Structure 1
Amino acid sequence: MARRPTRAERNRNKIIMWWGAAILLGVFAWNQGRVELWILPILVIAYYELCAVPTLCGVETSRGHPCKNQAYGRLIACKDQPSHAVYKNDALLRMLGFRRPPRQVSAPAPGPHDRTATELPMEPQVATIESKQTLITLLTVVGTIAGVVQVFLAAKN
């Protein structure tokens, strides 16, 4: 009886598949000799980084630590905390220059035996995204736009 692959093995296989697809498309574009075909590997790598890469959620919680739950894609939040998707969307819009009022991170409801919650009211904090995640997302978007523009300019000449 065959054993089931672990999450790490599945993630490794996904990474190999995506990079293999990008390399194959790059080889195809190289062999065809047509500059406009280079847009295919560029878009595959951009889609992989933004929507499919196995990563951590990265939404900084009310305690100030990034969420360590599994997520797929730098734009996608974890499935364990539904509110994290809203925070990631807001961070992306802020990165693109659209300003919304920041949403507050909601703390879990205090339990009946939680004395600190009744003694010291917590101030709501603004949720943010881990800076490394934001930087890689920004570089991916800028690099993709630059690559697509370069391909179109080269194809015109």
Structure 2
Amino acid sequence: MFKRIFGEHGAKNVVTLFHKPSSTASTRVLTLLKQTNAQSVAHATEDQASSHQAQDKAERMEFELDVTEAPPTADQLKSILDYLGGSGAASKVVSGAQDETDAMRRLKADGETFLRPVVVDWNQGKAVVGESESEILSMLRSISKDNKA
């Protein structure tokens, strides 16, 4: 219910990219996110200028992009693993991790063990590891569906 009320007041979803500039995949994901967000903002502005009726789907897909090169905090990592399906996801985001406990230990010892890019929509509780454009766009499209509710 909180999400629903919060969304109805026009608050944007926060989408975080855990980014590594030296990674080609991470740079492609950053470009995709920036382009998608810019297109949503452009469509929203056009619609607001031409109509005072309901916002269109593109505007509702708008999100606040947070880009960080830092590894996630322990709480963020726990959330990311939960979003990805629990302990089995540990090796997808932390190099060599066997489970959640091992992932936490490895991340604390060396932040560079965190594998990037990882895109996280904290409001929806979803995450995408890697550069799958279709998975990322699907997650972003579900922002508009979530805001319709």
Q: Which has the higher contact order (CA 8 A, sep 6+)?
A: 2
Question: Does TM, normalized by the shorter one, top 0.5?
Answer: no
Q: TM-score range by the shorter chain?
A: 0.3 to 0.5
Between Structure 1 and Structure 2, whose CA radius of gyration is higher? Answer: 1
